[in-house]
Amino acid sequence: MYLDLEELKYLLAESVEELPSWESHQKLSPPYRQKFDLEYIKRTNPRSASVMILLYQNEDGEIEFPVTMRVSYEGAHSHQFSLPGGQFEEQDISFDETAIRETVEELGVDYENIEIIRQLSEMYIPPSNFLVYPYIGIYHGEPHFTPDEREVQYIVPLNLEAFLNADYEVFEREFSGQVVEIPGYNIGDDEFLWGATAMILEEFKDYLKIVLNL
């Protein structure tokens, strides 16, 4: 299957298909996570954040998107794979602006080369009380990543076609002395992408398959 970025951009932008939302999220949901009423969550005034699935074509013409390994810190999401993104700030005029600003800061890419295509379903993150707004974006040209060392340990480019054909796995992780089985994606060297990031990407995958009639 050959994917053209401009064609994919058009199909995503013009699609009127309904987002799969929880139907996709639950497949990669950790066993201890429940379904949240997002309208109720919004009324509790959670912190807001945005993340970006940034699609681009590499030098071989293949479509990729980056995930980042967070640096280790005293926090709920230390040393985990994530999509570029971060907290909404007062100077941001919209949530998609947050996604672009944070992507530029974390990856070191050019602001003017990013184009937002559409938003995916909102995702609530209980440990940090964030309501996250995920966006699909296109990068015009091939990005040259210069990760922000304060936030990003390293960047892993994921091949879109390979991701569409990949199956998630179940791996074990220890929490407070208890071993829990968690669904996620092995993205190389036994490194697993899981949690909210995997749930967001699962909706992205399912929605792409709807759009592409796969």
What's the CATH code of the domain at 148? 3.90.79.10
pLDDT of residue 77: 47
Look at residue 21 and tell me if it is in a domain.
yes
Question: Does position 3 have pLDDT exceeding 60, yes or no?
Answer: yes
Q: How far apart are CA 131 and CA 134, in angstroms?
A: 10
User: How much is the pTM?
Assistant: 0.94
Burial of 178 (0-12, 13-18, 19+ CB in 10 A): exposed
Tens-place pLDDT, residues 6-45: 999 999 999 999 999 999 999 999 887 888 999 999 999 9
Band of residue 127 on the pLDDT scale cut at 50, 70, 90: confident
Domain that holds residue 81: 5-163+193-212
Tens-place pLDDT, residues 76-106: 444 689 999 999 998 999 999 999 999 999 9
Residue 199's nearest CA partner among 119, 95, 123 is 123
Q: How far apart are CA 179 and CA 58, in angstroms?
A: 39
Tens-place pLDDT, residues 184-198: 999 887 788 999 999
Question: Does position 147 have pLDDT exceeding 70, yes or no?
Answer: yes
Look at residue 185 and tell me if it is in a domain.
no
- Which tokens sit at 153? 């340990």
Question: Does position 175 have pLDDT exceeding 80, yes or no?
Answer: no
Task: Please give the helix or strand (H or E) that residue 153 lies within, else none.
Answer: strand 152-159
**Could you give the number of structural domains in the chain?**
1
Question: Does position 1 have pLDDT exceeding 80, yes or no?
Answer: no
